[in-house]
């Protein structure tokens, strides 16, 4: 993906092609829920992070939510002000290799 995708197809969600660097440290500003619609039109809630340094929200998929819970604990009310690392990566989705964002917890 290139920055043209972000330019011509803006999203309220933080995507890999919108990250300013391959790996960076960001501060959680808020934690909330967003309604997400899957390919079948079903609506479900997804936990999302607002980050101080970036516009939009980061929707936490199962992998990234598990990483946050392991590193930050289960009480999402305590996550605000904590730092996470966002890393551009690739994954297989619907039999295609696509860019994705992975969450890591920085070592203190």
Enumerate the domain spans of the chain. 3-104
Residue found by looking up tokens 């607002």 in the block: 50
User: pLDDT band for position 41 (50/70/90)?
Assistant: confident
Let me know how many helices (H) and strands (E) the chain has, helices first.
2, 5
Both tokens of 1, joined, read 């993906």
List the one residue out of 21, 108, 23, 32 whose CA is nearest residue 72.
Answer: 108
pLDDT value, residue 3: 64
% of the chain with per-residue pLDDT over 90:
76
How wide is the angle at C-alpha 77 spanned by C-alphas 76 and 82, nearest 5°?
75
List the one residue out of 64, 56, 67 whose CA is nearest residue 18.
Answer: 56
User: pLDDT band for position 32 (50/70/90)?
Assistant: very high
pTM, to two decimals = 0.86
Q: Rounded distance, CA 94 to CA 108, Å?
A: 37
Neighbours of 84 (CB within 10 A): 23
């Amino acid at each position: 993906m290139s920055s043209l995708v972000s330019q011509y197809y803006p999203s309220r969600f933080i995507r890999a092609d919108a990250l300013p660097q391959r790996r960076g440290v960001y501060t959680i500003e808020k934690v909330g829920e967003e309604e997400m619609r899957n390919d079948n039109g079903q609506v479900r809630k997804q936990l999302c992070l607002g980050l101080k340094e970036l516009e939009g929200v980061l929707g936490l998929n199962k992998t990234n939510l598990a990483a946050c819970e392991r590193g930050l604990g289960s009480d999402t009310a305590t996550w605000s002000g904590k730092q996470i690392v966002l890393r551009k990566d690739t994954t297989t989705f619907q039999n295609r290799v696509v860019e994705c964002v992975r969450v890591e917890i920085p070592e203190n």
